[in-house]
């Protein structure tokens, strides 16, 4: 029997009770997913996702390396923020990082009732797709969106995963979100940075001069790392 593929465009649409036996792929392209993949590519040992600022501050006081931002800006007590360029080998190799973002870490917690939660981005698309194809479970592509709204970059990334997974013949779908995402990927794929130019988050990052990493975040297959949540902590498969 073919595995079912579903897509969720916003945390407000996530149906926790449906996915306890599924693999959930959390996608927050600009920038949490891309940053987490970069951290592991550069040798991080593990990442502790925390939703709240105070929790992050407590970890800092205990001596942890802390990445924390709100609305794109680094919090004053943190070591660095949410750009994948912050997670250099020099800073993160063999370290445990405490990571709090506006959006991404809350979603990882929301997905935690699933069988397995992995982090997906354009950066690890080929490796993660190959792993999913070997994993005999239904899958959910969970686009983080922005403040509970649909966003383009995460939906298009979900659509890329959907296209590859459905194209394999191992998955099928009865989910309109999955079909729409795949269609958006079809439109976007000939010129992904050009397509994402119109996205709201692209404008927000530009206004805050945080868009230096945009091209990187939209580059496919720069790492083979697959971040996975184990006992609430991110490690690699």
| 177/192 Cα distance (integer angstroms) | 20
Residue 203 near its own copies by CB under 8 A? yes
Q: Which of 175, 220, 228, 235 is in the footprint of its own copies by CB under 8 A?
A: 175
157 contacts: CB under 8 Å, gap ≥ 6 = 27, 29, 120, 121, 122, 125, 143
Residue pair 213/85 in contact by the 8 Å Cβ criterion: yes
d(CA 37, CA 18): 27
Q: By CB under 8 A, what part of segment 120-149 binds its own copies?
A: 146, 148-149
By CB under 8 A, tell whether 29 contacts its own copies: no
Q: Is the peptide bond before 78 cis (omega within 30 degrees of 0)?
A: no
CB-nearer residue toward its own copies: 148 or 193: 148
208's tokens? 């805050």
Task: Please select the residue that binds its own copies; options are 74, 130, 170, 180, rule is CB under 8 A.
Answer: 180
Number of residues that bind its own copies (CB under 8 A): 26
Check binding of 206 to its own copies (CB under 8 A). no
How far, CA to CA in Å, does 49 sit from each of 31, 69, 100, 178? 14, 12, 6, 27
Least gap, CB of 102 to its own copies (angstroms): 16
Smallest distance from the beta carbon of 9 to its own copies, in angstroms?
Answer: 6
Name the residues that contact its own copies, by CB under 8 A: 9-10, 12-13, 146, 148-152, 155, 174-177, 179-180, 183-184, 186-187, 198-201, 203
């Amino acid at each position: 029997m073919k595995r079912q593929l579903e897509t969720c465009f916003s945390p407000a649409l996530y149906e926790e009770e449906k996915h306890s036996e599924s693999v959930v792929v959390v996608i927050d392209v600009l920038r949490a997913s891309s940053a987490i993949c970069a951290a592991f590519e550069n040798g991080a040992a593990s990442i502790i996702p925390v939703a709240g600022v105070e929790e992050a501050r407590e970890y800092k006081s205990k001596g942890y390396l802390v990445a924390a931002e709100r609305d794109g800006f680094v919090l004053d007590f943190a070591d660095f923020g949410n750009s994948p360029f912050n997670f250099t080998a020099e800073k993160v190799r063999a370290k445990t990082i405490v990571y709090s973002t506006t959006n991404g870490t809350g979603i990882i917690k929301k997905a935690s009732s699933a069988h397995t939660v992995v982090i997906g981005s354009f950066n690890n698309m080929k490796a993660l797709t190959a792993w999913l194809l070997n994993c005999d479970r239904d899958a959910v592509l969970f686009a983080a969106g922005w403040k509970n709204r649909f966003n383009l970059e995460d939906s298009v990334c979900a659509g890329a995963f959907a296209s590859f997974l459905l194209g394999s013949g191992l998955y099928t779908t009865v989910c309109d979100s999955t079909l729409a995402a795949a269609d958006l990927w079809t439109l976007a794929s000939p010129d992904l940075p050009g397509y994402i130019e119109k996205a709201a988050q692209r404008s927000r990052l530009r206004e805050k001069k945080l868009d230096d990493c945009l091209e990187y975040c939209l580059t496919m297959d720069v790492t083979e790392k697959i971040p996975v949540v184990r006992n609430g902590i991110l490690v690699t498969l």
